Structure 1
């Protein structure tokens, strides 16, 4: 009997205790307050993850109202390509019934993120005086290998078809590329064309090869003699060629001079195995003067391309072209390489003459992905 009485008393006391607590909760409704996040900028430019983290922290300011910092969550939500971040603030689940946010419209901000590519130091090739020209070119473009394609094999008595001479206009040594209508050919391999070019290729350092999603800036100076004679078929003076895949024999881009009325300079492009002309200009204003070229390309299936050719003497732009969203990367390609020099058809040999082309100040500069 006493035991039963004790249980009844305990249950009564427990009921009273719980009821008191319930009355206490009902008497303390959630605290009205305003938590928010704000930013000093809507766009952040960044180059690495540490810099990005610091910039976001410096841009954001959180306001806790009546709450404490340890009572809220402050997540950062990045999109998949890290071009946007959403910073938000919310009460932690344990405090959702303790506080009521009076204004939820200021609980999140969106910041655009722009990654700034860092250009690496350019690799340069400059003439330094007569003698050992092939060795100089090789030491830069493909140390220990052979980045030179000349007609020396079929014209040995002339000697090396690339040498160095002093140019009074530039007041510096420059590279001189020789080409003779006879007997020069294409490396004793092809006899309906002639080639005298330098290049990067699979034996070159990695930072001289263009790879997918990479931006590369090529610069050089060159001079065509007055009266320069071109083939009506092709006379390439610069090429960008992919290596690997079924399309590697066709350059992506070429600068080509062509016999016409009047003779012209063409920028040629091939997405696949067919070339088209993107832009052209009369050739005569580009002969007999030193020209400064800057070519910038992003190697991507939706890439960018830009080229500008200026007169060295007065910086007058003589030729330019730019396009975005262009296919600059081919299936199966492993890298893209540049070529400079002269590569021309012999099919209409009577249109041609012996030529010397002058080049200098080659530069290849990769930009980090």
Structure 2
């Protein structure tokens, strides 16, 4: 799929071309009714198994090195089989299938990290600048996902979505921890979904995990209420040291969210000791999981499905 940029106030999808656009200030859009107006928008949609090559489609949307699939990283990984493919669902249409194999997949080509593995797509340094969350900007993300019926999780992380800080110059170990994750894990002996925020500690010498939501605290059953069901996620993040966050996870076809998070005065910018505008925050989607309790995971293939990725920059209407 060719990804094009036009200075238009409407979105056109022609011959598989997804456009970015800008709205004039006086356009009364849906975003303005909600209190926000659209600055830019990008989409990544599956076009089915018979469409454009899956990896080309993703790279066209997010950049040449936006895929971190095991089959792209050397003989130590499970080569010869695509780890992201496309299928069609009767309810939501075309979607991306992400798979991972407990005993064959690793964390890219970093073989020293044998305690984890990943199959993800991401915004990164060479992605279009309109996809990057710069200091003071507000971004909205939407997508759909479905956890496979047989997926098993442990008390350790299985990240399905991350917001990660990127420091353009120098190094800072504190930047490496994701700012926000949607994570599947076990708490108090029960599997569930967690929204986790990671912020600086009091003197900025380290970071602290904060659970903003966990489904096990709300009597939500992993097998009955979560696995095998399609959900739509909405995230609005204001990137500032004292930012704001809205996040909902809603079963497709329903109006009431399963998960709902609203936070003000939350740290959503982590650039180390400087807050230079060259730094940014990026989204990541897929399966990134710990192998520290490897024997508790399925020995074969695990699956999480994704569809209808959307990245928007918005600004408040005063």
Report the TM range for the smaller structure's normalisation: 0.7 to 0.9
Superposed CA offset, 1:72-121 (max 9, x none): xxxxxxxxxxxxxxxxxxxxxxxxxxxxxxxxxxxxxxxxxxxx653124
- Matched with 2:255 is 315
Q: Shift of the alpha carbon at 1:218?
A: 0.3
- Matched with 1:228 is 151
**TM-score, normalised by the number of residues in structure 1:** 0.65
> SS of 2:55's equivalent?
helix
Q: Which moved more, 1:312-321 or 1:334-343?
A: 312-321
Of 256, 271, 294, the residue aligned with 2:234 is 294
1:125 paired to 2:125: no
- Say which structure is richer in helix: 1
Q: Shift of the alpha carbon at 1:188?
A: 2.4
Spell out the pairing of 1:50-129 with structure 2 (5 A cutoff).
117-129=36-48
Alpha-carbon distance change, 160 to 227 in structure 1, aligned in 2, over 3 angstroms: closer
- Matched with 1:357 is 304
Q: Shift of the alpha carbon at 1:132?
A: 1.2
2:77 and 2:104 in contact (8 A); partners too: yes
C-alpha RMSD over aligned residues = 1.8
Q: Shift of the alpha carbon at 1:305?
A: 0.2
Of 152, 155, 162, the residue aligned with 2:84 is 162
- Matched with 1:210 is 133
1:268 paired to 2:186: no
Q: Shift of the alpha carbon at 1:156?
A: 4.4
**TM-score, normalised by the number of residues in structure 2:** 0.76
Of 40, 58, 68, the residue aligned with 1:137 is 58
1:304 and 1:324 in contact (8 A); partners too: yes
> SS of 2:60's equivalent?
helix
Which entry has the higher C-alpha Rg, 1 or 2? 1
2:151 and 2:303 in contact (8 A); partners too: no
Q: Shift of the alpha carbon at 1:340?
A: 0.3
- Matched with 1:182 is 103
- Matched with 2:32 is none
Q: Give aligned pairs, total.
A: 254
- Matched with 1:255 is 182
1:238 and 1:256 in contact (8 A); partners too: yes
Q: Shift of the alpha carbon at 1:148?
A: 0.5
Superposed CA offset, 1:132-154 (max 9, x none): 11110000011xx2101111133
Q: Shift of the alpha carbon at 1:294?
A: 0.3
> SS of 1:136's equivalent?
helix
1:339 paired to 2:284: yes
Superposed CA offset, 1:215-251 (max 9, x none): 1000000000224211221110100000116222110
Superposed CA offset, 1:35-71 (max 9, x none): xxxxxxxxxxxx97xx8xxxxxxxxxxxxxxxxxxxx
Unmatched runs of 5 consecutive residues or more in structure 2: 1-23, 27-34, 201-206, 217-221
1:366 paired to 2:306: no
- Matched with 2:118 is 195
Superposed CA offset, 1:5-31 (max 9, x none): xxxxxxxxxxxxxxxxxxxxxxxxxxx
> SS of 1:232's equivalent?
coil
Q: Distance in 2 between matches of 1:230 and 1:238?
A: 15
Q: Shift of the alpha carbon at 1:288?
A: 1.1
2:40 and 2:130 in contact (8 A); partners too: no
Q: Distance in 1 between matches of 2:39 and 2:305?
A: 27
